[in-house]
Amino acid sequence: MEPTTASEILFRFGMFEADSVNCTLTRSGARVKIQEQPFRFLLILLEHPGAIVSREELRQRLWPEGTYVDFDGSLNVILKRLRATIGDDPDNPRFIETVPRRGYRFIAPVAVVQAKVEPTTAKAADNGSAQVSPQAPSVVPVSASITEAPAKATKLRYWIAAAMLAVAATIALGTGLVWHHTYVSQSADRKSPVRMRKSVAVLGFQNLSRRADDAWLATALSEMLSTELAGGEKLRLVSGEDVANLRVSAPWSAADTLDRVTSSRIGDALNSDVLVLGSYMLIGSTDDGQLRLDVRMQDGKTGEILSEVGEAGETKEMFRLVSQIGTQLRNRLGVGPLQGNDEAGVLAALPLDPDAARFYALGVAKLRQFDALAAKDLLSQAAEADPKFSLVHAMLARACAQLGNEQKHAEEAKKAFDLSADLPRAQRMLVQGEYYESLGKQEEAASVYHALFELFPDNLDYGLQLAASQTVSGHGGQAMRVIQQLRTLPPPSSDDPRIDLAEAQAMKDNKPAALVLIRRAVRKASDREQRLLYALARKQECMNLLYGEKPEQATSSCEDAYNIFIGAGNRLGAADAVRLMADGIGAGGHYEQAIATYQRALNLLADMGEHEKTGAILNNMAINYANEGKLDRAEQLYEQAKLHFQQAGDRANTADAMVNIADIYYLRGNLPRAAKLYQDTLNLIATMDHGDPSYALYRFADLELAQGNVKEGHRLAQQAVDALGPTQGSYQYLTSAMIEVGEALKEEADLAAARSQFEQTLTMRQKIGALELAAESQTELADLEIQENHPEQAESLVRTALAEFEKEKSDPDSSSAYTILSRALLMQGKFEQADKASRRAAELSLTSSDPALKLPAAIQQ
């Protein structure tokens, strides 16, 4: 990435704008006093968002050649003044991070705006705006995947559940891919302010009879009234799920009038102008009883009562009673009653069969209480009672997705889509988008959410859904533009912590910048008392730290998330947090502790009927057993993981489990069985639209090379490199595949080409900080030096690698390195040292079941 030319642009970060044309800094439009050198220092950092700028580069840019000053002291003074000006804390920076012994990095998101110099005055032109996400230095883009699996000698594959796209209860539609070409001009550069519809949150109905048999009506009436108010698309309704999540986090009284403080708190948290609460009294049965409904509407900022209405009638007229109340509220809100087509859409969005209505309401309530298994059973009964009701299939699809049953998820999503023709436009589009997502067609889903967001640009949820789909489908730049648009909405929508989380996901490869955003979301969610959203942000913070540069700091974030999830009854979220803790423990080499922690996560999921997360936990637990050399137990767990993935209908992770089992056979020396399973894995991946064969290819290549099949091994390894290169896939897998290509070239006596492969992997691994993998590249180069009769160079390389292996307590890698070291020492006539290295290699090989390690060590002795 070429650095931006500061002489022609404005930089926007946080509430600040740095104008490089006029050399001014403003905060929220007000001029901020700043001296020349601190301002130039700031511009230099803003030219390279996310990249480290060295102190030497700053010295050259700030002082002309021949200037004699105390550079270090002056630089520190300039930085201190700059931080004071922009309110940046050096111990907990929001903008400027000090990278010890290397320089400084601007870590906050930066928007770049093309400046336009007028004949008489320089003004910033708004029409050149484009969101720039901070990036690491452009030589080697850092893939998040490199940290997904700690590099251990067994090289077994981790399954990482990093959910970037929450499966929504009602989800959406696709109209083709043409929108990619028109998107920026239509959305990112929207000139006129978004017209905000009045937003309404139905907070729920209180059951005055307190009879348990009547409790389902609380959810049913809320859904019916929300649907009635949403008809005609003149009001923006807060989702029932958002209301339920807030109520779990910060409950309010359903019986009393909300006071000003409570109204303001709820209104801000739900981005709602109007709050609606109700109560009901049922006398008799739901079949032939009498029903009384009372509803109160309050201002979401002041708590002022805007309207109080009530209706009474027979229970069989429940839809009419709700419709009459809805009409009165609509009139009070100035949008008028529903018209013909809108009324038809409302009817299509409600279950008409009484039994279906009851089971549907009970199922939705269970889903919002994080009991997906009970929800699935209840929604299945609702679907049986009213099989042509689209939304019951949409909700059933969601329950199946939460339980990790991807096949059933797709089946129910298709039913919902096929039955959605009569739904209101927005719900119809959401259902179609859900269908595309269930098929893994994120491009098509994103095109639907784009169309939906264009229709309703005031709807934060639609914008977030669009940005999430774009991120998952690999269009992070488009997602950033949508996020920038969301930040222009009026508050409190523009201050929603979910926007920060969405932006962090879009720039997840720039972990320092993403961490700043995640922590901002944590603070906002805490201030709003949105505890479940706070827990989600803390879990995301845990992942960022765990797979970033500070894994030791991840535990407290995960524990915090776990405590909130478990307190809210969200066992799925709690299990995710515990699994992440176990991943971190295992990466630190504490395998027994990691295994015990994985078991905690499994216990949380017991009896839930969940498959996807269970498979992931079993897979990662197996890796720790394999790293202990307990291959039989590892194989058992991989087989269990594979079964769960198959039951979930997840072919991609089924393939991952299969290739891990193949690795076990390879480690045992059962090469024919391993080869068959590698091939079976590749055959399965070939049936997928977006399957990734790279890991299976390079592991199969390694096996073929071990058997002396150099030509076939070279072919497979090159296929793995080709599969990874164009997509900038996992750098762990890419460089490992390149190592295999180098091994093949070495066997073919093309030592120069082999050296090129090994040196490239060393450079790539060092640049992304994968030091243990870099040490592996050094041992390969050391072995090559021996073949080229350069034992001194070989000794130097392998000793450097050994220092890293021993620091990481990687016995298998250390064993291989000591074997190479003993050969280098023998060639130099250092027989006593060579014997010592050989014995050490043999000792370390005893900790591994890999015969490929034991044999070379034994030969050297």
Is 571 a residue whose pLDDT tops 90?
yes
pLDDT value at residue 219: 93
Structural domain that includes position 841:
585-860
Strand pairing category for 305-314 and 290-299: antiparallel
Which pLDDT score, from 0 to 100, does residue 62 have? 80
User: In this structure, are residues 470 and 478 in contact, taking their beta carbons and an 8 Å threshold?
Assistant: yes
pLDDT at 135 over 50: no
Instruction: Tell me if 766 is assigned to some domain.
Output: yes
Phi-psi sector, 609: left (phi>0), alpha (psi -120 to 50), beta? left
- Within the chain, how many helices (H) and strands (E) appear? 36, 15
372 within some domain: no
Boundary of a domain, candidates 102, 132, 162: 132
pLDDT the model gives residue 316 = 84
Buried b (16+ CB within 10 A) or exposed e, 26-47: beeeeeeebeebbbbbbbbbbb
- Contact (Cβ atoms closer than 8 angstroms) between residue 801 and residue 782: yes
Angle, helices 631-648/651-668, rounded to nearest 10 degrees? 160
One-character DSSP codes across 142-211: PPGGGGTS---TT-PPP------SPPPSS------STHHHHHIIIIIT--SPP-PPPEEEEEEEEETT--
Average pLDDT, the chain: 83
Report the C-alpha gap between 240 and 493 in whole angstroms. 17
Share of residues in the chain with pLDDT > 70 (%): 86
pLDDT of 799 over the 50 cut: yes
CA distances from 555 to 151, 582, 602 (A): 20, 10, 19
User: Could you tell me if residue 114 is inside a domain?
Assistant: yes
CATH number of the structural domain spanning residue 10: 1.10.10.10
Q: How many CB atoms lie within 10 A of CB 829?
A: 9
Collapsed DSSP state (helix, strand, coil) of residue 596 = helix
Q: Which residues pair with 202 in a beta bridge?
A: 276
**Is residue 807 in some structural domain?**
yes
Instruction: Note the pLDDT of residue 661.
Output: 96
Token pair belonging to 850: 């890999």
pLDDT higher than threshold 60 for residue 621:
yes
Pick from 539, 467, 542, 528: nearest CA to 496: 528
pTM given for the model: 0.70
Q: In terms of DSSP H, where are the helices of 349-438? A: 354-368, 372-385, 390-402, 406-418, 425-438
Whole-number pLDDT of residue 7? 43
245-281 residue pLDDT tens = 888 888 887 666 888 999 999 999 999 999 999 999 9
CA–CA gap between residue 746 and residue 769 (Å, rounded): 26
Classify residue 295: in a domain, yes or no.
no
Using CA atoms, how far apart are residues 147 and 547, in angstroms rounded to an integer?
5
Confidence of residue 510 (pLDDT cuts 50, 70, 90): confident
**What does the alpha-carbon distance between residue 205 and residue 273 come to, in Å, rounded to a whole number?**
19
Collapse the DSSP code of 237 into the 3-class scheme (helix H, G, I; strand E, B; otherwise coil) and give the result.
strand
pLDDT of residue 147: 30
Tell me whether residue 664 is in a domain.
yes
Residue 16 near residue 25 (C-beta atoms within 8 A): yes
State the number of CA atoms in the 13 A half-sphere of 618 facing the CB: 26
Q: Taking residues 600-605, what's their average pLDDT?
A: 96
What's 662's domain CATH number? 1.25.40.10
**Range among 84-98, 284-298, 441-455, 667-681 rated most confident:** 667-681
Is residue 195 classed exposed, middle or buried when 0-12, 13-18 and 19+ CB atoms within 10 A define those classes? exposed
pLDDT (0 to 100) of residue 172: 29
Residue 806 confidence class, pLDDT cut points 50, 70, 90: confident
CA distances from 166 to 253, 272, 402, 811 (A): 29, 22, 10, 40
Judge contact between 450 and 420, C-beta under 8 A: no
Rg (CA), the chain: 30
Contact 794, 829 (CB under 8 A): no
Q: What is the pLDDT of residue 848?
A: 56
Above pLDDT 90, what percent of the chain?
Answer: 49
pLDDT band at residue 91 under the 50/70/90 scheme: confident
Strands of the sheet containing 274-283, edge to edge, are 236-237, 199-207, 274-283, 290-299, 305-314
Q: Domains in the chain: how many in total?
A: 2
Q: Give the per-residue pLDDT at 255.
A: 64
Show the 3-state SS of 540-561: HHHHHHHCCCCHHHHHHHHHHH
- Token pair listed for 860: 């050297």
What is the CB-side half-sphere exposure of residue 13 using CA atoms within 13 A? Answer: 28
Q: Can you give the pLDDT at residue 28?
A: 64
At residue 414, does pLDDT exceed 90? yes
Q: Which two tokens stand for residue 834?
A: 């060579």
The pLDDT assigned to 730 comes to 63
Q: Which of 132, 158, 184 is the last residue of a domain?
A: 132
Question: Using an 8 Å Cβ cutoff, are 670 and 678 in contact?
Answer: no
DSSP for 331-374, written as a single string: HHTTS----HHHHHHHHHTS--SHHHHHHHHHHHHHHHTT-HHH
Give the pLDDT confidence of 37-90 residue by residue, as tens digits.
Answer: 889 899 999 888 878 888 888 888 887 665 555 667 778 888 888 988 888 888
Place of tokens 């399954």: 159
Query: Which residue matches tokens 């015990």?
Result: 596
CA of 610: how far to CAs of 241, 402, 620, 643, 647, in Å? 21, 8, 17, 12, 10
Quick one: angle between helices 771-787 and 751-767, nearest 10? 160
Question: Which comes out higher in pLDDT, residue 437 or 732?
Answer: 437
Residue range 838-860, pLDDT digits in tens: 888 888 777 655 544 444 444 44
Evaluate if residue 665 carries a pLDDT over 60.
yes
Non-local CB neighbours of 215 within 8 Å, separated by 6+ positions: 207
Among residues 94, 114, 132, the one where a domain terminates is: 132
Q: Which amino acid is at 279?
A: S
Q: What is the pLDDT of residue 161?
A: 33
- Could you report the per-residue pLDDT of 454-469, keeping only the tens digit for each? 999 999 999 999 999 9
Q: Dihedral of the CA atoms 358, 361, 366, 368 (nearest 10)?
A: 180
Q: Where are the alpha helices (DSSP H) in 14-172?
A: 36-47, 55-62, 71-86
Q: Which residues of 664-688 are buried (b: 16+ CB within 10 A; e: fewer)?
A: bbbbbeeeeebbebbebbbebbeee
853 within domain boundaries:
yes
- In this predicted structure, what is the pLDDT of residue 154? 38
For residues 798 and 812, give the distance between their C-alpha atoms in angstroms, rounded to a whole number.
Answer: 14
Phi, psi of 606 (to 5 degrees): -60, 140
- Element holding 291 (H helix, E strand): strand 290-299
pLDDT greater than 70 at residue 722: yes
d(CA 94, CA 123): 28
Furthest C-alpha separation in the chain: 102
Q: Where residue 188 falls among pLDDT bands split at 50, 70, 90?
A: very low
The residue-averaged pLDDT of 492-508 equals 91
Q: Identify whether 140 is part of a domain.
A: no
Closest CA relative to residue 553, chosen from 603, 594, 519: 519
